[in-house]
Copies of this chain bind each other. A is one copy, B any other.
Amino acid sequence: MGSLSRAECEGLDARDPLAAVADEFPPGDPGWLYFDANSIGAMPIAAHRALGRVADEWRRLRRRGWSDADWLDGPVRLGNKLAPILGAEPGSVVVCDSTSVNLYKALRMAMTLRPERENIVAEAGAFPTDLYVAEAAARDQLAGGSLMRVEDANALAERIDRDTAVALVTHTDYRTSYRHDLASLVRRAHTHDALVVCDASHSAGAVEVGLAAAGVDFAVGCGYKYLCGGPGAPAWLYVAPRHQAQAESVIPGWMGHAEPMAMDPHYTPAEGARRHLAGTPSVAGNALMESALDLWRDVEPQAAFAKHKALSDLVIRVVEDLPSPRPMLAAPRDPARRGGFVSFRHREAEIYVRALETAKIVASYRAPDIVRFGVSPLYHRYVDVWTLGERLRSLHPERSQ
């Protein structure tokens, strides 16, 4: 295959159907190369305009902003813009709260739909917060449930049985980028009439999640990684349409009421996913998130996922083209099993990531030995991967023979 050439990358950029989207992002600090989409996605230029608009509405409209501006509709409007990116049905997604809070709601809802069952099953290596929240949700189940931690993806599928209320799956592993086969897990779970709750934080906006096609029951994820919603962006919650009428709101606040402004002393849930909203939406957070979601207006999600796959394959190629000793691929080589970032093992991973910064490369480290390069189909150009390769090579000089 040979070394990746700049000309090859420029050719790929010239044919990239998403090339214009990358122009919607301002450059970062001069000369820096950001491969940290897994920690936080880049800021769209439109984010500035969005913040200016919120400030202007706040200053001028004040309380009339609640009625005259589009503040209160944000969670549902943004959910509908996000749904196609997740492969979700219209009306099944709301943008609200944090991933942790949404996961708590999703797990409690799911357990309420399986009241006679006791267990949540999850991988021991799931994202830690997922496990903390699952333990709390299991403890709060009236029957007194518990969280069963299993070894790995295979064990997760095998452990599901008729005592399982919920299989909780972190869609993409935050260290290895291993991406679960959701459809297969859901089939196994549904065979035993168990439900699947999925945290797709490290997948959404980068790779196919395909919630509806896989038959996932509930899902959550954050807005600030590949979705580019900004630091601490509002998270999202998916409720499969078949559960929407039965799934009661766990934290029933006014925004989930059928008539939020009627000040009804008794709670009547709204139809659809909206009932799972609790408090007043974060208007500034939603404005940033919406400016990022609007970048997808002319983007075919499958085209974005194909570009992400091609970029990720190139990242593997430039790293594997380095002279040894070099970082060793930790992520699956099969792109269908890989999430939003490409990860490698390195004995001195933390030091290596700091060394990358001396070459103006932002990557990220996870203990004990993981180096992660987060790849965005929206703002990365193929030539960025060529530059990454050149800079990495400068840190890995050929040994003189």
A100 touches B251 (CB 8 A): yes
B263 touches A366 (CB 8 A): yes
Binds B, one of A43-51, A154-162, A205-213, A315-323: A43-51
- Residues on B with C-beta less than 8 A from A142 are 142, 144
**Nearest-neighbor residue (CB-CB) of A234 within chain B:** B282
**Nearest-neighbor residue (CB-CB) of A278 within chain B:** B100
A251-264 vs B, CB cutoff 8 Å, 1 = contact: the mask equals 11111010000011
Interchain CB contact (< 8 A) of A285 among B132, B232, B266: B232
Given contacts A42-B62, A129-B254, A278-B100, contact A51 B284 (CB under 8 A): yes
- Residues on B with C-beta less than 8 A from A364 are 63
B280 touches A98 (CB 8 A): yes
A283 touches B251 (CB 8 A): no
Complex CA gap A16/B26 in Å reads 46
- Residues on B with C-beta less than 8 A from A40 are 58, 62-63, 65-66
- Residues on B with C-beta less than 8 A from A222 are 279-280
Given contacts A40-B62, A62-B36, A71-B231, contact A251 B282 (CB under 8 A): no
**Nearest-neighbor residue (CB-CB) of A357 within chain B:** B64
- Residues on B with C-beta less than 8 A from A286 are 232
Given contacts A54-B231, A97-B98, A252-B133, contact A62 B39 (CB under 8 A): yes
B51 touches A55 (CB 8 A): yes
Most buried by B among A39, A48, A142, A232: A232
A297 → chain B, closest Cβ, in Å?
Answer: 22
A117-156 vs B, CB cutoff 8 Å, 1 = contact: the mask equals 0000000110011011101100010101000010000000
A229-267 vs B, CB cutoff 8 Å, 1 = contact: the mask equals 011111100000000000001111111010000011111
A43 touches B28 (CB 8 A): no
Interchain CB contact (< 8 A) of A101 among B28, B128, B251: B251
Could you say which interface size class chain A belongs to? 35 or more
A383-400 vs B, CB cutoff 8 Å, 1 = contact: the mask equals 000000000000000000
Quick check: is A281 within 8 A (CB to CB) of the other chain?
yes
Complex CA gap A230/B284 in Å reads 8
Complex CA gap A279/B144 in Å reads 25
B252 touches A135 (CB 8 A): yes
Complex CA gap A129/B257 in Å reads 9
B265 touches A131 (CB 8 A): yes
B60 touches A28 (CB 8 A): yes
Quick check: is A224 within 8 A (CB to CB) of the other chain?
yes
- Residues on B with C-beta less than 8 A from A342 are none
**Nearest-neighbor residue (CB-CB) of A123 within chain B:** B265
Quick check: is A362 within 8 A (CB to CB) of the other chain?
yes
Quick check: is A59 within 8 A (CB to CB) of the other chain?
yes
Complex CA gap A372/B363 in Å reads 53
Complex CA gap A278/B220 in Å reads 14
A265 touches B124 (CB 8 A): yes
Contacts A/B (CB < 8 Å), 13 sampled: A42-B59, A71-B232, A100-B254, A100-B255, A101-B101, A124-B265, A128-B254, A136-B251, A232-B282, A232-B285, A235-B279, A263-B366, A284-B285
The 6 A-B pairs of least Cβ separation, nearest first, read A98-B279, A100-B253, A39-B63, A231-B283, A100-B279, A36-B63
Besides A58-B231, A132-B267, 4 other A-B contacts (C-beta < 8 A):
A99-B253, A128-B267, A149-B265, A234-B282
